[in-house]
């Protein structure tokens, strides 16, 4: 992924893609002192960009890292990187990490670095193909309790569990894994939140030990706006037997219907379609003008 043309914003400057390198003794690499974002731009506009910048700051603060840039500076840097790469529809990956001055668990004085990369990442499936639904397996790896990890931060360290779960799922021929939380309730997929339709209502796990996705929050709002009742609660795995439709939400995944989880089968239908269509409109529409 490193050997290509393009520009990456690194610590305040645009550098050539191939030259955006760091030292092997970087604290972020050894001890996972790294936080990141995943965002999408549509028609040249970053969807909820400021919310993503604020979440990056929240994640950094949670790990005791003070970012050397303000929200407005991050927003401007993201827009600049998008434009410098000549892209209007793209995925953005801001990342912040502790540098290489000191090596050891403690690295209080290490410089906090920030970089922003952007690349084209089209929806993998067409809307029609998406309606067939992806295949998920249930993972043995669970989301940790809030007492074991900073579960609300988008922190690199938490993704060790996701990569383990996703690699195993892929090796078994599935597209992704659905993970339980530390109590055995349904939590989320490896890079997306989950929604389940039962009796015409949408149910989604309470985000008390995993990322409360920006797409998740958008989907809740859009479903309600379209007259679909949404319930946030703890969901037991056996309730999947009563589900008629299931979908995942995430910046990269957008709204992705699910056709299969373990022995359960679902037929993506009107609820999936309503939320998919509403999301696709929402991300492309111009933000409301703010009254002066
Ligand atoms: N959970 C995990 C583990 C994720 O990586 C993501 C993607 N950032 C999400 C949920 C969804 O978050 P968002 O909708 O903000 O992209």
The count of domains in the chain is 2
Question: Is residue 176 located within the same domain as residue 261?
Answer: yes
Contact 46, 40 (CB under 8 A): yes
One digit per residue, the tens of pLDDT, for the chain of length 292 reads 889 999 999 999 999 999 999 999 999 999 999 999 999 999 999 999 999 999 999 999 999 999 999 999 999 999 999 999 999 999 999 999 999 999 999 999 999 999 999 999 988 677 777 889 999 999 999 999 999 999 999 999 999 999 999 999 999 999 999 999 999 999 999 999 999 999 999 999 999 999 999 999 999 999 999 999 999 999 999 999 999 999 999 999 999 999 999 999 999 999 999 999 999 999 999 777 666 5
State the distance from the centre of ligand 1 to the C-alpha of 103, rounded, in angstroms: 30
Question: Which tokens sit at 181?
Answer: 């939380």
| Domain boundary, last residue among 119, 144, 175 | 119
CA distance 97 to 33: 6
Q: How far apart are CA 225 and CA 83, in angstroms?
A: 33
Whether residues 110 and 73 share a domain: the answer is yes
Q: Using a 6 Å cutoff on CB, does residue 256 contact ligand 1?
A: no
Instruction: Let me know whether 145 and 252 are in one domain.
Output: yes
In a domain, 292, yes or no: no
State which of 136, 180, 191 you would mutate to test the pocket of ligand 1, scoring each by most atoms of that ligand within 8 A of its C-beta. Answer: 191
Alpha carbon distance 96, 36 (integer Å): 6
Residue where a domain stops, chosen among 72, 88, 119: 119
Q: What is the pLDDT of residue 263?
A: 95
**Which of 119, 149, 170 is a domain's end point?**
119
- Distance from the alpha carbon of residue 257 to the mean position of ligand 1, in angstroms: 16
Does 243 lie in the same domain as 145? yes
Which pLDDT belongs to residue 244? 98
Range of the domain at 195: 127-283
Catalytic residue among 132, 154, 236, 273: 154
Q: Is the CB of 37 under 6 A from ligand 1?
A: no
Q: Is 254 in the pocket of ligand 1 (CB under 6 A)?
A: no
The full length of the chain comes to 292
> Residue 1 domain-assigned?
no
Q: From the CB of 216, is ligand 1 less than 6 Å away? A: yes
Residues 63 and 187 in one domain: no
Residue 155 resides in a domain: yes
Nearest alpha carbon to residue 16 among 2, 37, 34, 36: 2
Residue 154 is among the residues annotated as catalytic for this protein: yes
Q: Please indicate, yes or no, whether residues 149 and 165 belong to a single structural domain of this protein.
A: yes
Instruction: Give yes or no: residues 114 and 205 share one domain.
Output: no
Provide the pLDDT for residue 124: 67
Is 264 found in the same domain as 144?
yes
192 close to ligand 1 (CB < 6 Angstrom): yes
- Nearest residue (CA) to ligand 1, atom 3: 191
Same structural domain, 112 and 154: no
| ipTM confidence | 0.99
Residue 238 in any domain: the answer is: yes
Ligand 1 atom nearest the C-alpha of 55 is 15
Tell me what pLDDT residue 291 has.
Answer: 60
Judgement on whether residues 225 and 107 belong to the same structural domain of the protein: no
Q: What is the CATH number of the domain that holds 43?
A: 3.30.470.10
- SS3 sequence of 37-98: CCEEEECCEECCHHHHHHHHHHHHHHCCCCCCCCHHHHHHHHHHHHHHCCCCCEEEEEEEEE
Q: What is the pLDDT of residue 289?
A: 66
């Amino acid at each position: 992924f490193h050997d290509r043309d393009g520009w990456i914003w690194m610590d305040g400057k645009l550098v050539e893609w191939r030259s955006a390198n760091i030292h092997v003794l970087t604290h972020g690499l050894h001890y996972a002192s790294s936080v990141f974002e995943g965002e999408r731009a549509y028609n040249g506009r970053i969807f909820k960009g400021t919310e993503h910048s604020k979440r990056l700051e929240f994640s950094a603060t949670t790990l005791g890292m003070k970012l050397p840039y303000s929200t407005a500076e991050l927003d401007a840097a993201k827009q600049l990187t998008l434009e410098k790469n000549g892209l209007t529809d793209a995925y953005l990956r801001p990342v912040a990490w502790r540098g290489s001055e000191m090596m050891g668990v403690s690295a209080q004085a290490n410089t906090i670095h920030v970089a922003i990369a952007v690349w084209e990442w089209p929806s993998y499936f067409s809307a029609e193909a998406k309606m067939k639904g992806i295949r998920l397996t249930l993972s043995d790896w669970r989301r940790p309790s809030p007492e074991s990890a900073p579960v609300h931060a988008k922190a690199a360290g938490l993704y060790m569990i996701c990569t383990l779960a996703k690699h195993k799922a892929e090796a078994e021929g599935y597209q992704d894994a659905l993970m339980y939380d530390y109590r055995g309730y349904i939590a989320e997929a490896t890079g997306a939140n989950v929604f389940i339709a039962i009796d015409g209502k949408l149910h989604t796990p309470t985000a008390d030990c995993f990322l409360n996705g920006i797409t998740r929050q958008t989907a809740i709002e859009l479903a309600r706006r379209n007259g679909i009742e949404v319930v946030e609660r703890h969901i037991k795995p056996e309730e999947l037997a009563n589900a008629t439709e299931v979908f995942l939400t995430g910046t990269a995944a957008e709204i992705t219907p699910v056709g299969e989880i373990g022995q359960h089968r679902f037929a993506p239908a009107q609820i999936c379609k309503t939320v998919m269509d509403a999301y696709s409109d929402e991300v492309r529409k111009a933000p409301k003008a703010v009254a002066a």
